[in-house]
């Protein structure tokens, strides 16, 4: 049986929102640039208090609209960056513009680069067996001096195996914990263990380890700039269709809200 969801006042959520937010149909997204996000992450590390960072896109918005626990987690996170052009479009269409896209894979790589420069430790948890190790080695090669203190795949099947991962993270005492279990599992895992781990910065990173390891290629830069990364991912992996199918549902909700005006879910 899984542990009950924490209440909004539970220390499992870590520090409360640390940046101004824009409400997009009930989802609170931080109004931050990439540079501001980097400064905030460094501040989280210096504080030594636990912070949850979420990176949300349009598919995450649809998931959260159907999952009250996930919505509550996101809205109580220290930071929720707009990881997708869908949220940027929606914010502008609803006349509450967000500055720019701040993606999870870019933040995760930035933290690896800053680890080499600043000396803080990072733990990679998640993805299929072998992927986190390959991702860690790739980051060490790309940014010599990156301090990755531990890795563990995300396929633990028993409570004993799960407990062993938590103990390993506690023993390694990372400054940054990157969790690649996919949304919403990664965010729920973090809040359930945040109080006992006390990691200054914990962030769900989805498929970032697959990208770092080279098993999955990112879209060309021109596609990223034009908001077509979703199309590239679908072309590479048709199994992503279910996630991509959420995009028109999200767009329809935004169009409807603009037409009828704000409702209770947006207050």
Residue 108: inside a domain: yes
Q: Which residue range is the domain that position 207 belongs to?
A: 45-266
Calpha distance 121→202 (Å, rounded): 12
Q: Is residue 81 part of a domain?
A: yes
Q: What is the CATH number of the domain that holds 53?
A: 3.40.50
H-assigned helices in 34-103: 34-47, 58-66, 68-75, 85-93
Tens of pLDDT, residue by residue over 128-139, are 999 999 999 999
Q: What's the mean pLDDT when you consider all of the chain?
A: 86
Instruction: Tell me, yes or no, whether 20 lies in a domain.
Output: no
Opening angle at CA 24, ends 29 and 105, nearest 5:
40
Task: Specify the number of domains making up the chain.
Answer: 1
Residue 28 lies in a domain: no
Distance CA 4, CA 162 (A): 17
The DSSP output letter for 169 is H
pLDDT tens digit sequence for 63-110: 999 999 999 999 999 999 999 888 998 999 989 999 999 999 999 999
pTM (two decimals): 0.85
24 belongs to a structural domain:
no
Q: Is residue 50 in some structural domain?
A: yes
Residue 38 lies in a domain: no
pLDDT at 266: 42
Sort 107 into a burial class: Cβ within 10 Å, 0-12 / 13-18 / 19+.
Answer: buried
What are the tens digits of pLDDT across the range 112-157?
999 999 999 999 999 999 999 999 999 999 999 999 999 999 999 8
What are the tokens at 262?
A: 């704000």
* Residues 179-207: tens digit of each pLDDT: 999 999 999 999 999 999 999 999 999 99
In the numeric block, which tokens belong to residue 209? 């380890």
Spatial contact of 70 and 235, defined as CB atoms under 8 Å apart: no
Residue 99: which residues within 8 A CB-CB, separation 6 or more? 31, 32, 33
Q: What is the pLDDT of residues 42-71, one digit of tens each?
A: 999 999 999 999 999 988 999 999 999 999
Measuring CA to CA, how many Å separate 199 from each of 34, 121, 123, 174?
22, 11, 10, 7
Tell me, yes or no, whether 25 lies in a domain: no
């Amino acid at each position: 049986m899984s542990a009950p969801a924490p209440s909004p006042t539970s220390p499992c959520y870590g520090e409360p929102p640390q940046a101004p937010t824009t409400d997009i149909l009930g989802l609170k997204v931080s109004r931050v640039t990439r540079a501001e996000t980097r400064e905030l992450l460094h501040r989280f590390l210096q504080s030594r208090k636990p912070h949850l960072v979420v990176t949300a896109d349009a598919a995450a918005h649809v998931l959260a609209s159907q999952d009250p626990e996930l919505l509550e987690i996101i809205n109580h996170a220290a930071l929720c960056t707009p990881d997708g052009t869908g949220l940027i479009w929606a914010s502008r269409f609803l006349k509450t513009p967000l500055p720019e896209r701040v993606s999870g894979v870019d933040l995760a790589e930035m933290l690896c680069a800053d680890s080499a420069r600043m000396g803080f430790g990072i733990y990679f948890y998640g993805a299929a067996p072998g992927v986190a190790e390959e991702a860690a080695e790739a980051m060490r090669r790309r940014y010599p001096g990156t301090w990755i203190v531990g890795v563990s795949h995300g396929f633990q099947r028993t409570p004993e195996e799960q407990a062993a991962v938590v103990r390993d993270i506690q023993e390694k005492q990372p400054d940054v914990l990157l969790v690649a279990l996919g949304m919403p599992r990664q965010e729920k895992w973090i809040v359930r263990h945040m109080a006992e781990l006390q990691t200054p910065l914990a962030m769900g990173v989805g498929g970032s380890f697959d990208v770092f390891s080279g098993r999955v290629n990112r879209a060309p830069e021109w596609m990223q700039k034009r908001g077509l990364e979703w199309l590239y991912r679908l072309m590479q992996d048709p199994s992503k269709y279910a996630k991509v199918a959420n995009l028109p549902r999200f767009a329809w909700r935004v169009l409807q809200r603009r037409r009828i005006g704000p409702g209770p879910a947006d207050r």
